[in-house]
Amino acid sequence: MGAFYYHDELPGTFTDEHNSGKPVSLEQLEKIGVFYRHFETVEEVDVVAKERNYKNRDEIVLSEATFPGGPEALQAKLEVFYKEHLHEDEEIRYILDGEGYFDVRDDNDRWIRAKLTKGDLLILPAGIYHRFTLSNSKYVRALRLFKDEPKWVALDRGTDQAESSFSRTEYLRSVSVN
């Protein structure tokens, strides 16, 4: 089952747990538009996929043992994923095996860390700033779902493209954050 807490902001590697000991409730996540459920089977995910009109899916495996280019290439990819960004579409992940962290910004611009393990489904709304990394296990196998063609271009925080994007504007309006 997923664990949600404020990031401790202490030094260390980004794959460290960074648990501040301050939990975040599912209600707090819902307030910022984040959807979380724990499902034992992919068939349960299929129900949500149908309700939300996700037509396509693929699998991603991030592992030091199998990543093209080896551990150094995986580390470089994780550094890209960990840069704060947003997407024009929802980001949907169902963890099939392993674990990882999604960090999202709350309405006070603090990092909330979502520790996801097998069976966790997380949906981040379009326009929310976030980042991703593996845990120290350095392994996750996840199902990625999307409506049509994925729009996974990362718009980095602080750029005009991100700040003025339609998805960011709509996200802020939907959660009443100015």
Summarised one tens digit per residue, pLDDT across range 105-130 is 999 999 999 999 999 999 999 999 99
Q: What is the CATH number of the domain that holds 128?
A: 2.60.120.10
CA atoms within 13 A on the CB side of 73: 9
Q: Is 85 annotated as a binding residue?
A: yes
**Domains held by the chain: number:** 1
Range of the domain at 106: 3-174
pLDDT digits (tens, 9 = 90+) for 39-69: 999 999 999 999 999 999 999 999 999 999 9
Question: Residue 177: pLDDT band by 50, 70, 90 thresholds?
Answer: low
Q: 154: Cβ–Cβ under 8 A, 6 or more apart, which residues? A: 80, 83, 85, 86, 87
For residue 96, CA distances in Å to 33, 87, 112 come to 23, 23, 22
Q: Is 91 annotated as a binding residue?
A: yes
